[in-house]
Chains A and B, each alone.
Chain A
Amino acid sequence: MDLVQVDSIRKTYCLGGVEVHALQGVSFSIAKGEFVSIMGASGSGKSTLLNIIGCLDNPSDGSYMLDGIDVSTLKIDRLADIRKHTIGFVFQGFNLLPRMSALENVELPMLYKGVKASRRKKRAMEALEKVGLEDRSFHQPHQLSGGQQQRVAIARSLANDAPLILADEPTGNLDSHTSEEVMKLFVNLNEQMGKTIIQVTHEPVMADFGKRIIRFMDGKLLSDELVQRA
């Protein structure tokens, strides 16, 4: 069964009285275990799409089935529930909470899920091991490099054992060497743990780490193709 199934999704914003059609009828589906890169120029609607896939926003029209549940019309608090069980987020700006250790940042999603403290710590530690940062668990974000911060963020996205990881320009703030390390980590998570990964990027090099590339332009699907491995 497909994990993500969007069907004729439209999203219309009202910005200062002007209607903006960010998404104009987009359909595709992503199966479990895929690693998809979504590409497009800014304003192409890829961020809007990611917000909808990430259950941070509802589509104006069309349906979105996530893991067999129609989430396109769910209320905000139900969406929060879906998010914490199904989706792990990785952001361009890392978005770790300052003044909290790496371990506590990774624990955070489990906190909102109601996982007990001892179990939370254990699983957060495991997640940090998976991204190779177990020896940095008590460092605060400002004591970590950009790449390390992003790895903590990835560990956080693993914390709730969500099947889907959404990464919004995960390498946008990193140098090319670190970017490559982060992408290899994603590939690893995809191949070893079977995580479904959807990343938004505008760098072709990073997009090529995925198995499939969906391109957007002006709120419409431009192309959808598998990456040819040399």
Chain B
Amino acid sequence: MMNVLETVRISIRALKANKTRSALTMLGIVIGVMAVIIMFAVGNGANIEIAERFASLGTNILMVRPGTGRGPGSATRGTINTLVIGDAYAIAEHSSAVAYAAPVSYGNAQIVYGNANYPARVTGTTPDYFAVQDWELASGRVFTDQDVRGATKVCVVGQTILRELFGGQDPEGKVIRVKKVPMMIIGVLEELGESSRGDDQDNVIIVPVSTALRRIFSSPRPDSVAMISVKAVSENHLEIAQQQIENLLTVRHRIRPGEENDFTVRNLTQFIESAKSATNVMTMLLIAVAGVSLLVGGIGIMNIMLVSVTERTREIGIRMAIGAKRKDIQLQFLVEALILSMLGGITGIVLGIGGSWVISSGFGWTVLVSPDSIILSFGFSAFVGIFFGYYPAWKASLLSPIEALRHE
């Protein structure tokens, strides 16, 4: 029995003798492995991006919205007015797993200062909202619960407002008009950047919820809010907090057993999971396509190996005559197929890593080449080599030395 290292040397020599053909044979595997690596990298990157974007929103946040949360338009803001400011205070007070709860009411308004104006998003809420969102002020102060009770005309503005209306000058104490309501600026938010949807989060003015509802938007139901933002004590308390809020609001809203809730509590991890599972499905589909090209590459190897066996019949005959056993011949051709596929695999991995890098720097996508995908695709290409190399090798080993020697 010949030793394996020698077989590898013999195989490499045979492959070198036909460089172009060997390279073309490998190409199928190269492309397949490259595609698998890149697809995995892009898929992983998408998941990381999703996780990061949600993490920037805070992972221990719950959102309470009016409506059942099921069916089309079930949670449309403004049409269902079941959540009130008092609910937020009750949640903060009675739910032990809740750290902060803030009612939120949104609207858009034109902001006027002097002869400049700019459209911004108006968020009416309570001081707790800053704690829920982990927002810090760049300067000034946050309005107080006193301000909320009195519907004081004070506000905190975002960096975009600061830039657009004040040219970056300190706006503290200045009065802006929001839908003709004069509001005094008492603080400026730190820079928040874009949201996961690409909105400018800095184009915002934050006012006491009562001021927003009664004075700015003159809401016919000055108590009801679009949602309540809740921060649980910790990530581990999310489920308990969710349960406590549901129990509390069921009582407060006088929902009888069997009746559907008129509110929905959701946590962000559920959004993350659903977003991730969507990308995962996509990634798996793409990997399956890449896998098919690996398979085709394997068939290419088998094809070439079969041709090679026929071409080298005489060589096989000589080797057999001077003492090679069937196993030796089989091993040689199997190793050739394996070297082709593994070399193709390695090349594919290198090109895949390179391709991922090009994608990340060219398109600005987050990509991550995971060791798993490298091991998987390398293993798979080795498997393809063995699987598709076996038949030609077996055919070679069945040749009769006499026939093989007579072969021209």
Contact = CB atoms under 8 A, between A and B. Distances in A.
A51 to B, nearest CB: 5
Interface residues of A, number: 28
Contacts of B405: 56, 91, 95
Contacts of A114: 1-3
Contacts of B323: 80-81, 83-85, 109, 112-113, 160
B322 A51 contact: no
Interface string B223-247: 0000000000000000000000000
B266 interface: no
Given A80-B324, A84-B323, A99 B13 contact: yes
B2 to A, nearest CB: 5
A24 B275 CA distance: 83
B325 interface: yes
B340 interface: no
A113 B6 CA distance: 12
Chain A CB within 10 Å — which of B317, B323, B328, B402 has the most? B323
Could you tell me the dominant secondary structure of chain B's interface residues? Answer: helix
Contacts, number: 61
A160 B323 CA distance: 10
B251 interface: no
Given A51-B402, A56-B401, A56-B402, A112 B319 contact: yes
B314 A95 contact: yes
Contacts of B3: 114
B320 interface: yes
A91 B1 CA distance: 24
Interface residues of B, number: 24
B325 A112 contact: yes
B326 interface: yes
Contact of B2 (A88, A95, A112): A112
A85 B2 CA distance: 14
A184 B1 CA distance: 35
B325 A89 contact: no
Contacts of A117: 6
Interface string A193-217: 0000000000000000000000000
Interface string B1-43: 1110010001001000100000000000000000000000000
Nearest to B398: A76
B12 to A, nearest CB: 12
Contacts of B49: none
B321 interface: yes
A156 B321 CA distance: 12
A97 interface: yes
Contacts of B318: 95-97
B172 interface: no
Contacts of B319: 97, 108, 112
B184 to A, nearest CB: 90
A111 B401 CA distance: 18
Interface in A101-155: 108-109, 111-114, 117
A77 B402 contact: no
A95 B3 CA distance: 23
Nearest to A113: B323
A39 B188 CA distance: 111
Contacts of A51: 402
B17 A56 contact: no
Contact of B326 (A56, A76, A95, A160): A76
Chain B CB within 10 Å — which of A51, A81, A111 has the most? A111
A100 interface: yes
A51 B320 CA distance: 13
A89 to B, nearest CB: 5
A77 B326 contact: yes
A83 B321 contact: yes
Interface string B179-203: 0000000000000000000000000
Given A89-B322, A111-B2, 5 more contacts: A56-B405, A95-B314, A96-B318, A97-B319, A112-B325
8 contacts: A51-B402, A54-B321, A56-B321, A57-B402, A77-B325, A84-B323, A97-B318, A112-B2
Cβ-closest 6 pairs across A and B: A84-B323, A112-B323, A109-B322, A80-B325, A95-B318, A112-B324
Interface of B: 1-3, 6, 10, 13, 17, 314-315, 317-328, 401-402, 405
